[in-house]
Structure 1
Amino acid sequence: MDSRIGYDDDFYAWTQEQARLLREAARERLNTPIDWDHVAEEIEDMGRNDRRAISSHLAHVIEHLLKLEFSPASDPRSGWRKSVREQRAAAVDALADSPSLKGHVDLPLAFHRGRGLAIDGLGQDRVDERDLPSDCPYALEHLLDEGWWPANRHGLD
């Protein structure tokens, strides 16, 4: 096998390397009936799907961390905490499968999406969206740390 990146070591990096190798093989015009370009594109897409999944998990972590931090409501805090735990675990697992994805996390985009979700949910608690930060106040390490929680601004928790 020509690849230097192991499938089991870093799936995302493997997909990108395999796509590159397939495109090289296509340029060499090997006489086979394989649709090299589309096979390479599909493999590359598998890696992009993992990247999007991590972004989605982080958006939900951010959504519920913002709710835990800014909501004056006493319920459904346990549900928000459960969601954070589940989404953190999914993101951590995906990053364990593809460690190179950590360098491709678009935290501002995940924050933008998570903030929007939080705004939708916090409106019923009469939290003004202007009270929420406009930039992500959480480090990626905090978002992934199962023991880290923001303090509630209303003294709850």
Structure 2
Amino acid sequence: MDQAAQDLYETGFYAWARHQAEALRRLEGLRLDADLDLDHVAGEIDDLGNALRRAVRSQVRCILEHFLKLAFSPAQQPRGGWERSIIDARTELSGDLTRTLRNALLGELDRLYAQTRKAAAKDLENEGAPEAARLLPETCPWSLDGILRDDWYPAPPAAG
């Protein structure tokens, strides 16, 4: 393995998987007489990298959902569960979030937030807090660094 591929492997599986899939597809174009199903091998490696990317996005959506509920829900009882869920999601991310995936998240944060906002609003409405659902910001109020920062949670809504 060349040094660039070795460096990619050690710094981030997602970037390495994308690189390897591209290299296998180029190799397939050479029409080597090898008993390898290069197209499918490349596809499977791509799929593994994409699965990791989906998992990372899912954890960020989980954090965002619980941030919104912590910041806007008037409910007191489930707050500890929301914080625990954030801890779990951050723990999962700590092992998977590479520079490449972090950069991808930066580019997707607005879209991920919009998806999460819609789900959080529906949950708040279903939990009898339609006013809280209406107060959810249209744009993400947190940076990716804030979302990932250990032991930080949004403040609860001010008592009215």
Percent of residue pairs bearing the same amino acid type: 37
Could you list the runs of 4 or more consecutive aligned residues of structure 1 that deviate by over 4 angstroms after TM superposition? none
For 1:122-141, what per-residue CA distance to the aligned partner results, in whole angstroms no more than 9, with x for missing partners? 12142333210111111000
Q: Secondary structure at the match of 2:33?
A: coil
Counterpart of 1:45 in structure 2 is: 47
- CA distance, structure 1, for counterparts of residue 10 and residue 53 of structure 2: 17
Q: Secondary structure at the match of 2:40?
A: helix
Deviation at 1:23, TM superposition (A): 1.1
- Whether the 8 Å contact between 1:60 and 1:84 is mirrored in structure 2 is yes
Partner of residue 109 from structure 1, selected from 108, 111, 123: 111
Deviation at 1:120, TM superposition (A): 2.6
Partner of residue 150 from structure 2, selected from 132, 146, 151: 146
Deviation at 1:3, TM superposition (A): 5.9
- CA distance, structure 1, for counterparts of residue 32 and residue 47 of structure 2: 23
Q: Structure 2-normalised TM-score?
A: 0.88
- Whether the 8 Å contact between 1:3 and 1:17 is mirrored in structure 2 is no
Is 1:132 the equivalent of 2:140? no
Richer in helix (by share): 2
Corresponding pairs, count: 154
- Whether the 8 Å contact between 2:121 and 2:134 is mirrored in structure 1 is no
Distance 1:5 1:125, change over 3 A: farther
- Whether the 8 Å contact between 1:26 and 1:36 is mirrored in structure 2 is yes
Counterpart of 1:36 in structure 2 is: 38
- Whether the 8 Å contact between 1:23 and 1:36 is mirrored in structure 2 is yes
Q: Structure 1-normalised TM-score?
A: 0.90
In structure 1, runs of 5+ residues without a counterpart are none
- CA distance, structure 2, for counterparts of residue 62 and residue 78 of structure 1: 15
- CA distance, structure 2, for counterparts of residue 85 and residue 110 of structure 1: 19
One-letter code of the match for 2:65? E
One-letter code of the match for 2:14? Y
Deviation at 1:92, TM superposition (A): 2.3
